[in-house]
Amino acid sequence: MTTIKDLANKGNLFTQGHRACAGCGGTVILRLLMAAAGKDTVVVGATGCMEVVSTIYPYTAWNVPFLHNAFENSAATASGVESAYRALLKRKKTDKKINFIAFGGDGGTYDIGIQSLSGAMERGHNLLYVCYDNGAYMNTGIQRSSATPMGSSTTTSPAGSVVKGKMQNRKDLTEIMVAHNLKYAAQASLSNWSDFVSKVEKALAVDGPTFINVLSPCPLGWGYDTSLSIELSRLAVETHFWPVYEYEDGKYKINIKPKQVKPLEDFLFKQARFKHLKNEPELVEEIKKSVEEKWNCLLQKESSCK
């Protein structure tokens, strides 16, 4: 198992001085991701918060080759880079083992990039796609995306007297990826960092496309104090809002089953985007119901796919 010391000894492949907001969860994800992947890695980033804050011209926060491309095609670009690498291998121009990582936010993955992501996964390129899911288009000013949870207030689904925030349930991208018959797909949370790091290591060891979805708390978009980023990702796991599980070779495994399940309100009412729900007990019940349904469904899948 990887320890903190092992990670610290690998150096900073994603360095200081990036312009992310104070308390940003996404940068912690990238740090841990790079610490797990090591320096022989090519990173492709879709447009989004993490690309904008890490590569403001003429500076870069990356100590590895980094390629930025448009919102919709990070998976397509990464698969091109990977194909070029395989061509070099074939012609014996290199024999180095190189990891390929593409990442995008929930806007660039759930909505705009899903077509190229689906294509890359279907073609079977040897790459890892990491989605940092902060539940809206935070970079452009908190517009709703298909990852935005039900009841959440964003600038394009504002909570008012008639409509109480976003009225639709979020899309389950990890399940969509599982439907691509991947060898490895997982959902992780920052609060359980060693689980996330071991998932990245596992995914990179697989020969073929892999996918990891990580919850990325956003102080600005979610509306909470900057110091609570990790605390909120912990609450999301403990309330079953964000199940931490993996799908490996046709089998589901829930990695973290909270011993004591906390009420969903603990998670919701720490954030300003849900504060209007305090007067909407029916909507909270509906959200609770869908969260529990998802969890029970996952439990069933875990026991039936053994």
Nearer to another protein, 6 or 292 (CB): 6
CB of 56 to another protein, least distance (A): 8
Nearer to another protein, 34 or 131 (CB): 34
Q: Cα–Cα distance between 66 and 144 in angstroms, integer? A: 28
What does R_g of the chain's alpha carbons equal in angstroms? 19
Number of residues that bind another protein (CB under 8 A): 41
CA-to-CA dists, residue 276 to 111, 229, 281, angstroms: 26, 21, 10
Residue 194 CA neighbour count, 13 Å, CB half:
7
Q: Cα–Cα distance between 176 and 107 in angstroms, integer? A: 15
Task: Find the binding residues for another protein in span 84-143 (CB under 8 A).
Answer: none
Triad 255, 39, 199: Cα angle to 5°? 5
Out of 107, 108, 135, 219, the only residue in the binding site for another protein (CB under 8 A) is 219
The letter for the amino acid at 15 is T
Question: Stretches 201-209, 221-229, 247-255, 265-273: which one binds another protein (CB under 8 A)?
Answer: 221-229
Q: Two tokens at 96?
A: 């180095």
304 binds another protein, rule: CB under 8 A: no
CB of 217 to another protein, least distance (A): 10
Burial pattern 242-279, b for ≥16 Cβ within 10 A else e, equals: bbbbbbbeeebeebbeeeeeeebeebbebbebbebbee
Question: Stretches 6-14, 171-179, 251-259, 291-299: which one binds another protein (CB under 8 A)?
Answer: 6-14
CB of 228 to another protein, least distance (A): 7
Question: Stretches 115-123, 160-168, 220-228, 281-289: which one binds another protein (CB under 8 A)?
Answer: 220-228
Per-residue contact track with another protein, 179 to 198, x per CB under 8 A? -----------x--x-----
Number of neighbouring beta carbons within 10 Å of residue 107: 28
Out of 2, 38, 52, 60, the only residue in the binding site for another protein (CB under 8 A) is 60
169 binds another protein, rule: CB under 8 A: no
CB of 193 to another protein, least distance (A): 6
Q: Cα–Cα distance between 207 and 217 in angstroms, integer? A: 30
Nearer to another protein, 14 or 129 (CB): 14
Out of 88, 206, 220, 228, the only residue in the binding site for another protein (CB under 8 A) is 228
Out of 9, 19, 76, 301, the only residue in the binding site for another protein (CB under 8 A) is 19
- Tracing tokens 């990325």 back to the chain, one arrives at 216
Q: Two tokens at 202?
A: 């596992």
For the CA atoms of 185, 135, 295, 113, the dihedral, rounded to the nearest 10 degrees, stands at: -30
Given a contact cutoff of 8 angstroms between Cβ atoms, the answer to whether 113 and 71 are in contact is: yes
59 binds another protein, rule: CB under 8 A: yes
Q: Which residues bind another protein (CB under 8 A)?
A: 4-5, 7-8, 12, 14-25, 27-28, 31-32, 54, 56-64, 190, 193, 219, 225-231
